[in-house]
Structure 1
């Protein structure tokens, strides 16, 4: 009897542990979570800069702001640009210099091919109107992916609830040269 109860307890703990072992950072293609709006340091995955984070918290990870010529975003070392609205992160861009330093929480980084990024984010909701860019739009109000027409039909105020992942490609090999995690209001209206 004690052995049976002990075995059942052990089995129950194993099942609970297995259910909890899937971390928030595990992603499936064609899905979206709040973690999709984060970038992480490649050498410290706990060092994440996420959409909505305060500027002070973001700068604890990004370091000291470098010269910025544009009021809506700030440049940081290692090819990182952060867009702020009301002292909170409204978007992040990985540009030249971020290679080896930052990646999206999903694992996308500069230099990846379009097909590698599509494996991470999925094909079902990809917006692929040109060879030079690949986009995904997620409507946080409707809790679903949007196509270009749906996302583009939102007012300036409504656009803040549309989260975008955009990647831009160059060269014959079509390698990612810029990655954006940003809300549509900031991307289109710079506000």
Structure 2
């Protein structure tokens, strides 16, 4: 994406500019990955200029994209990298957005951040959108496939311990399945058992 493309996409669209034009979260993520701090400044400028929404439900009942939250997380990543996203994981209103960006960044430090997060918190609900379950799903996506990251042995052991402990307390078949899938990222002795 060229630098000016984001501003053009933000100006397009049939709805009010506050709906984001034709900008999608994936655009913001790619933009922050490509342009870093300069991209963060541009995302922040566009969010303020167009008044992107932070709440997904308007007073008239219309549902809109939470583009202001996506923008805040992408700005944080552009300016401070994975460390900034790790900090945002402590904010429940931004945690799932930060998790989504960590999943797209795809580095070993992302695995560390997600693993540390999962080990320091618990699920508040059984819903798949709960930040804990989202983070575990991101760990699965980052480490369990042929093109995935291969964590160092100590991280594999932590991931294995986390998943086994989580599986034991899982209350739904979705949670248990997610645990079993995430265990593929920790092919250490004892995992199969």
TM-score > 0.5, shorter chain as reference: no
Using CA pairs below 8 Å that are at least 6 residues apart, which structure has the higher relative contact order?
1
* TM-score interval, normalised by the smaller of the two chains: under 0.3
The structure whose residues are more often strand, as a share, is: 1
TM-score norm. by structure 1 comes to 0.26
TM-score norm. by structure 2 comes to 0.26
The structure whose residues are more often helix, as a share, is: 2
